[in-house]
Structure 1
Amino acid sequence: MKRIILFICRLLVGVLFIFSGLIKANDPLGFGYKLVEYFEVFHMLFLADYATAMAILLCALEMILGAALLLGIRPVQVAWGLLLLIIFFTFLTFYSAFFDVVKTCGCFGDAIPLTPWQSFTKDLVLLLLIVVIFVNRKSIRPAITNPKAERASLWIISILSAGFGLYTLNFLPVMDFLPYKTGLNIPDQMKVPAGAPLDVFEITYTLKHKKTGENKVMTDKEYLKTGIWKDDNWEIIGEPVNKLIKKGFEPKIRDLKITDVQGTDYTTEIIGNPYYNLVIVANSLEKADVRAIGDLNALAINAAENYNIRTVVLTSTSPTGADAFKKRHKLVMEIFNADDVPLKSMVRANPGLILLKNGTVINKWHYHRLPSYDELEKNYFSKTP
């Protein structure tokens, strides 16, 4: 029975650690953004520049520990590693939940969003399983008994784990779980369906009796039901408190707004263009790959001259900075402004290229894998009716 319990614990923890690491390594840039949120909470923003590298290492560590646990490789060291890691994660998720500072923990990336309390519960269960493994760490028998084969296996697991994160960082996620993925229609992701449940709020009033000085706290429903509002002796003091009771339907995309220098809204015009149009996403022009920007500029010139394709740049860089960048690099594209958050979700690259038609994401590319003009013409532009 003891062996069976230990085997089940190893299986559950090992598989879950591999799955968790793999999902986050699929989008290390996104996990890096989540780490920056934690750095802000703990006033450690000096680590922000290293967030992506730390994300790749953490994901790799999860996968390595999970695989090593399943194979029984170095069980004592692995048990210690698992215990320390889960204690750290449990502390983070509890802190996030109790103080309501980070809304989603990023445990499974954007594939399975969990609330902080759900994440904390998950970590408590894992902690219990890992404690069982830790107590019985010396009873774990390795599946590979040859020392050289064991070392070779560990090296292969480590290289594959880190390599996967590096690959997705440089060539976009293998699986895109964001609302801007290829094949989705952006305007549809921004709509609230007819009849969808709305947010439910409760208003709380603080009332004071003019003669006795007695105070009462009442909800808006109680205020109307009791008819106290008809009594001139009671007056509302202070500002009413508006509290969200039940969350209504929330569209997948709710924060995308594209504006020009004057603040004119161009969102519908750009994402609703019925023809092919190229959208270059560079959340920060100052940090964008300059060579890729030059290649995209040449691509935009050819597309405009031969097929009248419109190309726009979306950035969160200030209008003054964007204009200076445009002049410095002699860009022909129109530059529009949007918030940093949706831009980072549109494409995990700086810059990245999106091919849109009638609001639908036809395809998108990382700047390390930009298509040539000939490829775009052959596969898309020349096929336009």
Structure 2
Amino acid sequence: MKKIALNFSRIFVGVLFIFSGLIKANDPLGFGYKLQEYFEVFHMPFLSGMATGIAILLCVFEIVLGALLLFGFWSKKVTGGLLAVIIFFTFLTFVSAAFKVVTSCGCFGDAIPLTPWQSFSKDLVLLVLIVYLFIHHDLIKPVTQNPKVQQGLFAFVTLASTLFGIFTYCTLPVLDFLPYKVGANLPELMKIPEGEKGDEYAIMYKMQNKKTGEKKTMSDKDYLKTEIWKDDSWEIVGDPDKVLVKKGYEPKIKDLLIADASGTDYTKELIENPYYNLIIVAYNLKDVNEKAIAELNALALNAAQQFNIRTVLLTSNSASDADLFSKRMKLFAEVFYGDAVPLKSMVRSNPGVLLLKNGVVVNKWHYNTVPSFDKLADQYFSK
């Protein structure tokens, strides 16, 4: 029974760590965004600039530890490392759940979103299994005793996982779990399907009796039903609160709003354009790759002149900053504005490009992989 329990724990923990590391390494920029949230919570904003690099290193660490556990190499050091990692992650997920500071831990990236309490429960189970492995590490047998083979496998897993993280950072995720993936119909993903209900909210009033000083809180429905408003001895104190009563259907895209500098909503016009249109996403103009912007600007000009293709640039910067940037870079593309969160989800690149037609994401590219104008014309525009 001890052998069965040990093998089960070793395989379960090893596979889960490899899976978790690979899923996050598939989208290191997204994992980096999640780390930035934690850095803000723990008042360490100075680490935000290194978030993506730290994200890749953490992914490599998870994958390597998981693989070494399955190989059975250096069992005491590996189980000790796993124990240190899981204690740290358990602490983070508890803080997220108890204090509601980070709504999703990002344990499995965007592939399997977990609530903070679900993440904490998962980590507790892993903690128990890893403690068991650590106590009985001397019973873990390596698949080979040859030191050179052990070192070779260790080097291979480390190198492969590092290169994978760098590759996905310099291109795009191999598997896109975000709502703006290729083939997605954006207008449909923004709707609540027929028959489904959205979130239900109640307006809560703080009431106080002028004569007795008694205080109570009641919903807008109870306020009207009891007709307390007719009683002059009761008054509303402070501003009412909007409270979620019942969680309803949540569209996959719920926070996309594209506006011009004056605040006019252009979301529908832009994403439902029946013709090809290029969307350049540069959520942060201060850190954007300006060489890529210049190349995309030339591409946009050619697309407009030869095929009347509309190109817009989306950013979360202020209108004044964007205007200065546009003049300095002599941008041909129209500039529109959106919140940083959906812009980061559109494409993991700054800048990145989406090709839309009739609300559907036809294709998307990291700035390192954008095809030449001739290739775009041959494959899309001239057809």
Indicate whether the TM-score tops 0.5.
Answer: yes
How much does 1:237 deviate?
Answer: 4.3
Provide, for residues 248-307 of structure 1, a one-character-per-residue CA deviation record: whole Å limited to 9, x for no partner: 122111222222222222211111110011111111223222221122122112211111
Instruction: Say if 2:182 is the partner of 1:182.
Output: yes
Superposed CA deviations along residues 3-30 of structure 1, whole A, max 9, x for unmatched, are 1100000011001101110111110000
The answer to whether residue 328 in structure 2 is matched with residue 315 in structure 1 is no
Q: Counterpart of 1:282 in structure 2: which amino acid?
A: A
Q: What is aligned with 2:382?
A: 382
Q: Which region of structure 1 is more displaced relative to structure 2, 192-201 or 44-53?
A: 192-201
Name the residue aligned to 2:270.
270
Please list the CA deviations of residues 209-230 of structure 1 after superposition, one character each: whole Å capped at 9, or x if unmatched.
Answer: 5554444455556656666666
- Counterpart CA distance in 2 for 1:326 and 1:206 is 49
| Matching residue of 2:44 | 44
Of stretches 348-357 and 237-246 in structure 1, the one that deviates more from structure 2 is: 237-246
Asked if 1 retains the 8 angstrom alpha-carbon contact of 2:192 and 2:198, the reply is: no
Count of aligned residue pairs for this structure pair: 383
Change (3 A) 1:85 1:262: same
Cα pair distance change 1:296/1:136, threshold 3 Å = same
| One-letter amino acid of the structure 2 residue matched with residue 15 of structure 1 | V
Confirm whether residue 16 of structure 1 aligns to residue 16 of structure 2: yes
Quote the offset at 1:231 in angstroms. 5.3
Partner of 1:348: 348
Deviation at 1:320, TM superposition (A): 2.2
Listed as ranges, the gaps of 5+ residues in structure 1 are: none
> Where do 1:287-306 residues align within 5 Å?
287-306=287-306
* Cα distance in 2 for residues equivalent to 1:28 and 1:37: 14
Task: Compute the displacement of 1:233 (Å).
Answer: 5.0
Letter aligned with residue 77 of structure 1: K
Q: Structure 2: which 5+ runs fail to align?
A: none
Deviations 1:288-342 (A, max 9, x none): 2222112212211221111111111111222222222222222222122222111
The CA deviation at 1:89 is 0.2
Where 1:119 maps in the other structure, the secondary structure is helix
What is the deviation of 1:56? 0.3
CA 1:10–1:301 in 2, change beyond 3 Å: closer, same or farther?
Answer: same
| Pair 296,130 (structure 1): closer, same or farther in 2 beyond 3 Å | same
| Deviation at residue 133 of structure 1 after TM alignment | 0.3
Output the CA distance in 2 between the equivalents of 1:288 and 1:198: 37
SS of the residue 2:321 aligns to: helix
In structure 1, how many angstroms separate the alpha carbons of the residues matched to 2:367 and 2:67? 33
Task: For 1:187, give the aligned amino acid.
Answer: P
- String of CA shifts for 1:14-72, please: whole Å, max 9, x gaps: 01101110111110000000000000101000000000000000011001000100110
CA distance in 2, matches of 1:277, 1:239: 45
Task: Please tell me the root mean square deviation across aligned C-alpha atoms, in Å.
Answer: 1.9
Deviation larger for 87-96 or 293-302? 293-302
Equivalence for 1:74: 74
Among the aligned pairs, what percent are the same residue? Answer: 61
Segment of structure 1 superposing worse, 369-378 or 315-324: 315-324
CA 1:205–1:264: 2 relative to 1, 3 Å: closer
Distance 1:50 1:211, change over 3 A: closer
2:104: which partner in 1? 104
In the alignment, what sits opposite 1:324?
324
Name the SS for the 2:134 alignment partner: helix
1:7 is aligned to 7
Q: 2:100 and 2:311 mapped to 1: Cα distance? A: 41
Q: Which amino acid aligns with 1:344?
A: K
* 1:69–1:187 Cα change, 3 Å: same
The whole-number CA distance in structure 2 between the counterparts of 1:124 and 1:273 is 49
Distance 1:315 1:216 in 2: 45
Partner residue of 1:256? 256
What amino acid maps onto 1:182 in structure 2? Answer: V
Does 158-167 or 330-339 show the bigger shift? 330-339
The 2-side partners of 1:308 and 1:326 are apart by: 21
Aligned AA (1:69): L
The 1-side partners of 2:38 and 2:235 are apart by: 44
Structure 1 window deviating more from structure 2 (120-129 vs 366-375): it is 366-375
- Residue equivalent to 2:157: 157
Could you tell me whether the CA contact under 8 Å between 2:349 and 2:367 is conserved in 1?
Answer: yes
Distance 2:308 2:200 in 1: 48
**Secondary structure of 1:192's partner?**
coil
Match of 1:128?
128
Equivalent-residue separation in structure 1 for 2:11 and 2:87 (angstroms):
19
More moved, 324-333 vs 110-119: 324-333
1:330–1:211 Cα change, 3 Å: closer
Contact 2:73 2:142 in 1 (8 A): yes
Separation of aligned partners in 2, 1:37 and 1:348: 17
Q: Give the Cα–Cα distance (whole angstroms) in 2 for the partners of residues 178 and 375 of structure 1.
A: 26
The verdict on how the C-alpha distance between 1:2 and 1:309 changes in structure 2, with shifts beyond 3 A counting, is same
